[in-house]
Structure 1
Amino acid sequence: MKKLALAVIPDRYTDLFTETVGKTVCGKQILFSGRGTASSALLRHLGIGSTRKTVIGFLSCEEAIEAVCRMCEREARQHKDCGGILCTVSAENTMAKKSAHTLMCIIVNSGYGETVMEAARKAGAPGGTIIDARGTGTEQDMDFFGIRISPEKEVILIASETSAASDISDAVKKLPCFDAPGSGMICTLPADSFFHLGTAPVQE
């Protein structure tokens, strides 16, 4: 049975990663540009904490996952920054599953991604990836000189231990940026499997 897989890797290794996945998966991949979040207050202060990331989604099988992990381990021996995370989510009966890890997807208005990550990290999140996005045609659309503009959004992906997911979610929900109706949403899914890509655990 195939599962939905999401991988977060350094931007420079996108081609290598997609080529490896393409050799073992029959199907398409979808790529998003994102940025990692700094775990150091000093790096954030200096403005150098964020790193460019690629988020890759694809339908996976065990063979593909094992091949990707082997590739990242091999590359990490030569390039210490070839690391990231990969988790899979099953589309079947996810509510009944118990998993050691949880994938959190948080959607918020643009500009609040770092605020969300700061609250999430204080509640136990190991890190996260922010993706720029936009809303679709809803009543929240704005008129600007007669042109309909969809609100800009940010999507925050956090893979955490399930034991910490509830605390992270509660901390994020209390943020003022969620006070207004329709200002964002939080979705959590149990991860069937979770891997650190590379030779050592790397913050995403």
Structure 2
Amino acid sequence: MSRIYMMVVITNRSRRNRLKEFFEEHEICQVLDAPGSGTANSEVLDYFGLEATEKNVYFSIVTDETWKRLRRSLIINLQIDIPGSGIAFTIPVSSIGGKNVLQFLTQGQEYEKEEESALTETKYELVVAIANQGSIDSVMDAARSGGSGGGTVLHAKGTGVEKAEKFLGVSLAKEKEVILIVTKKSQKDSIMKAIMDQCGLKEEERVIVFSLPVTGTAGIRMLEEDLD
């Protein structure tokens, strides 16, 4: 049995080409690349010998066996464990919107399906929808019809290898919208289904959707019903 994770890698933007080579060497086809910047104050930067450089954040779906292999290479070949080189971590994926999307996100990786996430005690989920550029309104309309209140949008670019573009007609080599929606676990399935039905792989938006468990929240006033 295998687990599926979202792998997040954050490095200085100057290493972008090296990271692209890294993913291609390990045949990780579906990678989203989004710009970012560090927020640590000068005292923290000085203490760790870091520089306030521009960052790139990379997102990809990996199995546990793939993560073990990539983690070793990140440390040995990219020396990501050295202060100032970057950071990498994984977040368990609780569900994926459809068999075809699962095959697309894990292609080339050995995977044997297990039961949905064991994190059954979590109250909230983060629904992640990846869509073609210009699809924000239609995706959010679909999400709201499934019970969502709103979301946050990131603009990203795919850095996948060419074979990803041929799979199901989906390309991650173009500009993408990443819509993040925090919702109650009980509403997750209806939101994901609405997005899949109205904006799925057969539609113009070509949305890929999956969810991640959320273990704590603050500031989600409409959802926090148990706060004294």
TM norm structure 1:
0.47
Give me the TM-score of the superposition, normalised by structure 2: 0.43
Q: Which has the higher strand share?
A: 1
**Which structure exhibits the higher relative contact order, with contacts defined as CA atoms closer than 8 Å and separated by 6 or more residues?**
1
